[in-house]
Amino acid sequence: MKVYFVRHGESVGNAGGLHQTTDMPLSEVGFAQAVRIAERLRKFKIDIIFASPVIRARETAEVISKNLNVPIEQWDELTEVKGPSEIGGKPVKDPEAFKIKKLIRENYSKVNWKYSDEENYEEINERAKKFLGHIIKYHSNLDILCVSHSTYIKFLVAKMLFGKDLTPEIARIFYHHTLMQNTGLTVCEYDKESGWLVRHLNDASHL
């Protein structure tokens, strides 16, 4: 089984330097990026597309689906990692948002700690475990494309690599030392003997 992860195209939130909210659609640049990754994906055999329900990911998936003539299924398990509502829509450099994110980072390793309504490590880890277990059990005979979001794709890759040994500290280090560009392509492969293999991470050569 091969799994192709694509981050959504540039959103209006990305373009405006804002913390994302779920209602931020693709920008004009984002739509153009979606077309370019769709053209690149034509050379791969993809059986089905799974997409996050968030509009910027869904719009990216729709462009790809139209170009590849491959059906889409919306999957809540691929939605972006939820941040605290207090920072949604605020500029990335907003001082108050910076303080909140710093506090979250400092407490990330504390079991079940939360600032407010964000997803914490335990919740993200459980979601990633459920997602990977599902595709191995039900889709191991397919090559699938998953259109999702930067933070969650990074977490899924970390979960593939470290499995049960993944910790909040490892996840945090992996997040801060990897890059996931808009429409960056990450290719992973699974077999029963070797487990997960990461073949490409954030390949954006189509841009």
What are the chain's domains?
A: 2-81+120-203 (3.40.50.1240)
Q: What is the pLDDT of residues 160-176, one digit of tens each?
A: 999 999 999 999 999 99
CA distance 22 to 91: 15
Non-local CB neighbours of 94 within 8 Å, separated by 6+ positions: 19, 87
What pLDDT shows up at residue 144?
98
Structural tokens at position 68: 């590849």
Non-local CB neighbours of 151 within 8 Å, separated by 6+ positions: 80, 81, 175
Overall size of the chain counted in residues: 207
Residues of the chain with pLDDT under 70: none
What pLDDT shows up at residue 201?
97
| E strands, the chain, in order | 2-7, 48-51, 72-74, 144-148, 185-191, 195-203
What pLDDT shows up at residue 45?
94
What predicted TM-score, i.e. pTM, was given to this entire model?
0.96
CA distance 18 to 12: 8
What pLDDT shows up at residue 34?
98
Distances (CA, A) of 57 to 31, 65, 142, 182, 199: 11, 12, 21, 10, 23
Q: What is the pLDDT of residues 38-68, one digit of tens each?
A: 999 999 999 999 999 999 999 999 999 999 9
Handedness of CA 144, 150, 154, 159 (dihedral sign): negative
